[in-house]
């Protein structure tokens, strides 16, 4: 009888121990789950703050395009600006699309010079320039070093050239012979919103200058630019005040920005979030935009590449 009682007590003790183990496992699992949820929530908030900061940088840059005072206007040649805000910091740059090489209207010789400046040898650069020209023209006649449908089929591609204008710069990746690395190199130097055969060299990025100018001349232009990041006050260059009808001064717009502007903003929130916003805008007025009367038109609004954030972080070290 005593043995049976001790046996039952032992079984009860084991059951209690296993119950405690199970409760400990459940508590540990609940704690980990709660920590993960909190971590995800903090990341979500941090990234949302970074997104808002990047968008604020874009709008701050757009406002600067209406600045009347030449001393307070921001450069549109890729110069970087830094803006400190309560929840973090944002760095942004403005790139005038008229300073880039237009994929649709630039001559093949200009495209070849760009590809050669990006590292291709002369023969490969000329061939790729002809391939770009064949891609955008509407005929089936192959240029001396270009590529039409037969060359795309021979390369094992199930498509040929578009035989129409480029609608975005990303389409150049569909041109036979354009590698991912080459696209990464030439992306800052090409546009579909340019002046055609003309390039505004005063606002050209470095690669365009090296393609179109002698080394000494390109170096002189680059040396004349502001080489360091300029930190802006929150009230620095707030932009021109609108008139009674909230319509921007069109004369001022033409003095500062004559075409499309690319703005790249890289934001870092104080909680550790990072976000890159890339926008292409064109300033306008009511006569240009219709009854809506928007001060600017957004041609592209997208999340930028992660490499922008990496480059920005390394430049701050």
Claim to verify: residue 117 and residue 192 sit in the same structural domain: yes
Helical residues (DSSP H) of 245-317, grouped into ranges:
250-256, 286-289, 306-316
Give yes or no: residues 276 and 133 share one domain: no
**Domain membership of residue 167 as a residue range:** 101-198
- In eight-state DSSP terms, residue 173 is G
CA nearest to 164, candidates 193, 201, 120, 132: 132
Task: Tell me which residues of the chain have a pLDDT lower than 70.
Answer: 1-10, 34-41, 226-228, 234-258, 284-294, 305-317
Q: Examine residue 5 and state whether it is found in any structural domain, yes or no.
A: yes
Looking up tokens 């650069």, which residue turns up?
Answer: 125
Distance of CA 218 to the CA centre of its chain: 25
165 assigned to some structural domain: yes
In a domain, 38, yes or no: no
Domain co-membership, 130 together with 184 = yes
Point out the domain boundary residue: 177, 198, 219: 198
pTM for this model (two decimals): 0.74
pLDDT, tens digit, 9 for 90 and up, residues 33-48: 766 666 666 777 888 9
State whether 7 and 17 are in the same domain: yes
The reply to whether 20 falls in a domain is yes
Residues 234, 91 share a domain: yes
Q: What is the pLDDT of residues 227-262, one digit of tens each?
A: 667 778 765 544 433 333 333 333 333 345 568 999
95, part of any domain: yes
Residue 128 lies in a domain: yes
Assess if residue 213 is contained within a domain: no
Q: Indicate which CATH number applies to the domain containing 174.
A: 1.10.40.60
Closest CA to 205 of 62, 311, 98: 98
Instruction: Give me the number of domains the chain comprises.
Output: 3
């Amino acid at each position: 009888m005593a043995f049976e009682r001790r046996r039952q007590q032992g079984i009860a003790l084991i059951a209690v121990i296993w119950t405690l183990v199970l409760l400990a496992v459940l508590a540990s699992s609940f704690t980990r789950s709660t920590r993960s949820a909190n971590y995800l929530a903090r990341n979500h908030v941090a990234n949302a703050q970074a997104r808002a900061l990047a968008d604020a940088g874009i709008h701050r840059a757009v406002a600067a395009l209406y600045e009347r005072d030449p001393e307070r206007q921001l450069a549109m040649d890729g110069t970087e600006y830094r803006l400190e805000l309560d929840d973090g910091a944002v760095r942004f740059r403005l790139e005038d699309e008229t300073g880039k090489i237009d994929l649709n209207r630039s001559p093949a010789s200009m495209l070849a010079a760009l590809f050669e400046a990006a590292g291709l040898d002369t023969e490969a650069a000329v061939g790729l320039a002809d391939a770009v020209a064949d891609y955008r023209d509407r005929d089936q006649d192959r240029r001396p070093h270009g590529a039409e449908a037969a060359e795309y089929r021979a390369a094992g591609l199930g498509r040929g050239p578009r035989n129409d204008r480029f609608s975005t710069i990303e389409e150049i990746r569909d041109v036979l012979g354009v590698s991912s690395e080459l696209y990464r190199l030439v992306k800052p130097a090409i546009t579909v919103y340019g002046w055609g055969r003309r390039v505004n060299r005063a606002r050209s990025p470095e690669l365009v200058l090296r393609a179109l100018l002698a080394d000494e001349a390109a170096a002189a232009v680059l040396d004349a630019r502001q080489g360091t990041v300029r930190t802006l006050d929150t009230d620095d260059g707030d932009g021109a005040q609108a008139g009674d009808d909230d319509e921007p001064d069109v004369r001022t717009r033409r003095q500062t920005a004559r075409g499309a502007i690319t703005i790249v903003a890289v934001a870092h929130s104080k909680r550790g979030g990072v976000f890159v916003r890339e926008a292409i805008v064109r300033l306008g007025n009511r006569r240009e935009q219709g009854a809506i009367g928007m001060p600017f038109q957004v041609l592209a609004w997208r999340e930028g590449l992660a490499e922008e954030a990496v480059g920005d972080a390394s430049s701050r070290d």
